[in-house]
A and B are shown apart, each in its own frame.
Chain A
């Protein structure tokens, strides 16, 4: 039997079937195109339609932004490219650009705004440097003390005794932060360690270590008091503030005050004490359920009535207070979300160790909750940055207010689109950077517990 089959097999000559065609290319550029853009009839149609749409938008945008651009002109009338048609008047944007950023701030004083910004950046950079210690103190001093320095630099004029002290404290803090960061970067030890070393207190008992540090702080304070003694800036009343500068001032104060207020409100909302909880819930719900513009109108019309006789509140201050109240209510909800993410065991463990309420919140719960909250805080700041444009409706000249002012300037009358586009680009860059940063934080911080 076997022999026969073997013979049969040998006699029938083996003919292989024709090989299958190679599978469609799934790698390389062509494979990528095939898989991502032309995967079936519907997908191909969508791709072609999208390409047409992109092409249409790009051609029109190019024509508007570049082909018709007029870069040099003294007024809107010179921007005509034909007797009936206006070109894209970038000259107007160029002419107004400083105003977009600084409002009506006097040109010769603009350096004050710039240097305050640089001081803030230098103050805050150490927070992002891994080698620097005491980051929390640096950040807190930046948020709590810097505003006095900035306020004086922006406003100028005479200093009363309170501002004199606060400004010199701020200058002292700034100097200390810079020295501290440099020492950390190059030697790896912070400023307090250096002071203790140099004064020879290192081998004394720990209790005495604070004295040389306090002495150093006093010296720095007196030094900066002496430093700023002769410095006097010209007064720049706040109706001259404007543009992106004002937008940043309002949203910056809003976010800086919203965080502590939001934490208190959120803790109050979760408190076991009924009166406190009810008041906090009422505040949060009231300010979250009405639009910001109504709060701003309320601020401009009602705050002057609330104040005792003889007190005055200007429009900017009312707007800032309104923005702070609004931001605090929203921040409270962000903080509440962060607190809810902390497992109950953490609260119970803290209590079991015998920590008081504020200790357990400050050392156990808040540090963990803050980690969850940072992405939301950043997006909250982004929202506030965008919402600050509303102050232009109550007549403040923020970035959008300046944009609207351009089209009312007699020599640039009717110039809308180009300034609006510029403002949109400025806001987009700011918000896009912030949202990308918050996504980065979400990837690196938020999931920390899961891994």
Chain B
């Protein structure tokens, strides 16, 4: 077919039709367009910033922030710099998200198992819990918890004493809790706890190995509990109980001393936990259902006890289906904790992207810093997820 085309045009045709050259051409065009778009955006931004007399650069981070932050575990004063505000925001976001992740996962497992309950009523209630929570926006739920529950708390004088403790009180300023004050030798107890956990892990590994080699099952529950709680306790007592509790007490119009948590934080936390527990419950349910019934039957026919069937056969396989979506759910908790801004909890977006940005006007830098934080968190989490997936694949066959 190409035999009767002249050799010169054949060469050009071959060049045009060669997939490699075409691909390079497309890539060069796309890259060129991208560079052009970025450059023109930068130029526009520079012109606009110049006409608005906005400064560029990260120097502003050293300036004094000058505003107070309603809640932070760090030692922050309004005279600190914007960089400090950034850290305050990050720590607040991480604390809020961390606690919510733990509680949401825990609650999600309970609800997920209840959804599979043989009791019809319980399963129905659990499934309506999931439906109602998943089908209303999180922001609405946060506002609902705040205005509906945590903004209506009584004044400090009429505080609610939780479980009758005078130093564990809830009022419209927040939740007041005793604050532990470690003294000189407390680090020994902490070290003891780490050592105890390591010993317990080694013990369990050894028991598993023994079981795999000899088939003999050694219960490690009691020794594990004894070591993990006993060793630190013994060290704690021997070093003379170096831990004091700073109790909150009503002084004047408000409680002083101890630790406290804002009502807004409680509201966001409850909303995050409850909302994401519904998603977690669905993952747990789907994970357990993904293990086929044949597995249970096979395990039973091998003569495994009922509790072993669950622990050794069903749960390890279900975890494989549960963990990856669960980790991306945790990522969502971190991202969704930014909605705390709606009710004024000082998280990263609130203190840095709103207050600091409005004060300093360094939009580009602040947006970049905030996005960098969230990207770091989610890239870290997805790296962990990849490692876990690799590990699972190896054990698979």
Residues of A near any B CB (own CB < 8 A): 36-37, 39, 43, 46-47, 50-51, 53-54, 272-276, 279, 285-286, 288-294, 297-298, 301-302, 304-309, 382, 386-387, 389-390, 392-393, 400, 404, 416-417, 420, 423-424, 427-428, 431-432, 435
* B264 interface residue (CB < 8 Å to A): no
List 17 A-B pairs, Cβ < 8 Å: A47-B122, A273-B23, A273-B27, A275-B27, A289-B377, A290-B335, A298-B371, A306-B44, A308-B47, A309-B48, A386-B138, A389-B140, A420-B143, A420-B147, A427-B137, A432-B135, A435-B135
B364 to chain A, nearest CB (A): 6
For the A-B complex with A285-B375, A289-B379 known, give 7 more contacts whose Cβ atoms are closer than 8 Å.
A36-B121, A37-B120, A46-B122, A294-B370, A307-B48, A309-B51, A427-B136
Chain B positions within 8 Å of A392 at CB level: 139, 342
| Cβ-Cβ contact count across A and B, 8 Å cutoff | 158
**A272 to B24, alpha carbons, bound, how many Å?**
11
Q: Top 8 closest A-B pairs, CB basis?
A: A289-B378, A431-B135, A36-B120, A386-B137, A291-B335, A301-B363, A275-B27, A291-B338
Closest B residue to A388 by CB, please name it. B137
Count of residues in B whose CB is under 8 Å from the partner chain = 55
CB neighbours of B375 from chain A (8 A):
285-286, 289-290
B349 touches A293 (CB 8 A): yes
Residues in B whose Cβ lies below 8 Å from that of A51: 121
B27–A424 touching, CB < 8 Å: no
A417 touches B121 (CB 8 A): no
Task: Please state if B119 and A47 are interface contacts (CB–CB under 8 Å).
Answer: yes
Closest B residue to A425 by beta carbon equals B136
**Secondary structure call for the A interface:** helix
- CB < 8 Å: which of B45, B119, B138, B367 contacts A298? B367
Does B197 reach chain A (CB closer than 8 Å)? no
Query: In the bound complex, do residue B338 and residue A293 qualify as a contact, i.e. CB atoms below 8 Å apart?
Result: yes
* Distance in Å: Cβ of B256 to nearest Cβ of chain A: 30
Tell me the complex Cα distance, A274–B24, Å. 9
Contacts of B14 in A (CB 8 A): none
B338 and A294: CB pair below 8 A? yes
Q: Is B191 an interface residue (CB 8 A)?
A: no
Q: Which residues of A contact B207 (CB under 8 A)?
A: none
Which parts of B24-71 form the interface with A (CB within 8 Å)? 26-28, 30-31, 34, 41, 44-45, 47-49, 51
Also in contact, A294 and B27, with CB within 8 A (given A37-B119, A307-B44): no
Query: Are B364 and A50 within 8 A (Cβ)?
Result: no
Q: With A309-B47, A386-B136 known to touch, is A302 a contact of B371 (CB < 8 Å)?
A: no
Over the window 115-136 of chain B, the binary record of Cβ atoms lying under 8 Å from chain A Cβ atoms (1 yes, 0 no) is 0011111100100000110111
On chain A, the residues within 8 Å of B331 by CB distance are: 289
Write out the residue numbers on chain A whose beta carbons fall within 8 Å of the beta carbon of B363.
301-302, 305
Chain A CB within 10 A, most for which of B30, B132, B371, B377: B371
Contact assessment for B364 and A302 in the assembled complex, using a CB-CB cutoff below 8 Å: yes
CB distance from A273 to the nearest CB of B (A): 5
A275 lies within 8 A of B31 (CB)? yes
A289 and B122 form a contact (CB under 8 A): no
* Pair B371/A389 contact, Cβ less than 8 Å: no
Q: How far is the CB of B73 from chain A (nearest CB, A)?
A: 22
Nearest CB of chain A from residue B301's CB, rounded to whole Å: 24
- Tell me if B135 and A276 are in contact (CB < 8 A): no
Taking a contact as CB atoms under 8 Å apart, the answer to whether A400 and B26 are in contact is no
- Report how far A25 CA is from B363 CA in the complex, Å: 72
